[in-house]
Amino acid sequence: MRDLVYPPVIAFARTAFKVLDLRFLMSGTEHVPRTGGAVIALNHISYVDFVIGGYGAYPSGRRVRFMAKEVLFRNRFSGPLMRGMHHIAVDRSAGAASYREAIRYLGEGEVVGVFPEATISRSFELKEFKSGTVRMAAEAGVPVIPMILWGTQRMLTKDHPRDFSRHRPVSITVGAPITVTPEDDAVEATAHLRTTMAGMLDQTIRAYPEQPEGAWWLPASYGGGAPTPEEAARLDQEELDRRRTRQTKGGAD
CATH number, position 103: 3.40.1130.10
Residue 58, in any domain of the structure: yes
Q: How far is CA 238 from CA 10, 47, 71, 119, in A?
A: 36, 20, 21, 14
The pTM assigned to this predicted structure is 0.95
β-bridge partners, 144 = 39, 178
Domain count, the chain: 1
Give the burial class of 184: count Cβ atoms within 10 A of its Cβ; 0-12 exposed, 13-18 middle, 19 or more buried. middle
Per residue in 79-123, pLDDT (tens digit) is 999 999 999 999 877 778 999 999 999 999 999 999 999 999 999
Q: What span, in angstroms and rounded, lies between the C-alpha atoms of 169 and 88? A: 29
Quickly list DSSP for 192-248.
Answer: HHHHHHHHHHHHHHHHSS---TT-TTS-GGGT-SSPPHHHHHHHHHHHHHHHHHHHH
Domain range for 165: 6-214
Residue 152 vs residues 17, 22, 115, 156, 217: alpha-carbon distances, Å = 12, 11, 15, 7, 10
Neighbours of 211 (CB within 10 A): 13
Residue 127 lies in a domain: yes
- From the CB of residue 132, how many other CB atoms can be counted at a distance below 10 Å? 20
Position 253 pLDDT exceeds 60: no
Q: What is the pLDDT of residue 75?
A: 93
Q: Does residue 201 sit within a domain?
A: yes
CA pair distance 111, 63, nearest whole angstrom: 7
Q: What percent of the chain has pLDDT over 70?
A: 98
| Whether 62 contacts 34, CB under 8 Å | yes
Q: Is residue 52 part of a domain?
A: yes
Residue 223 domain-assigned (yes or no): no
H/E segment holding residue 20:
helix 6-20
Please give the average per-residue pLDDT across 131-157, as a whole number: 98
- The 8-class DSSP code of residue 60 comes to G
Q: Examine residue 185 and state whether it is found in any structural domain, yes or no.
A: yes
For residue 173, pLDDT beyond 90: yes
pLDDT tens for 55-77 read 999 999 999 999 999 999 999 99
For the residues 153-158, what does the mean pLDDT come to?
98
Looking at the DSSP bridge assignments, the partners of residue 39 are 112, 144
Contact in structure between 111 and 92 (CB atoms under 8 Å): no
Q: What is the DSSP string of 71-134?
A: HHHHSTTHHHHHHHTT-EEE-GGGHHHHHHHHHHHHHTT-EEEE-TT-S--SSSS--PPPTHHH
Has residue 1 been placed in a domain? no
pLDDT for res 112: 98
Residue 224: name the closest of 45, 17, 25, 23 by CA.
45
What's the chain's average pLDDT?
Answer: 96
Question: Residue 250: is its pLDDT beyond 80?
Answer: no
DSSP 159: T
Q: How confident is the model at residue 233, as a pLDDT?
A: 97
What is the rounded distance in angstroms from the CA atom of residue 7 to the CA atom of residue 156?
A: 24
State how far the Cα of 209 lies from the Cα of 222, in Å rounded to an integer.
14
**Is 253 contained in some domain?**
no
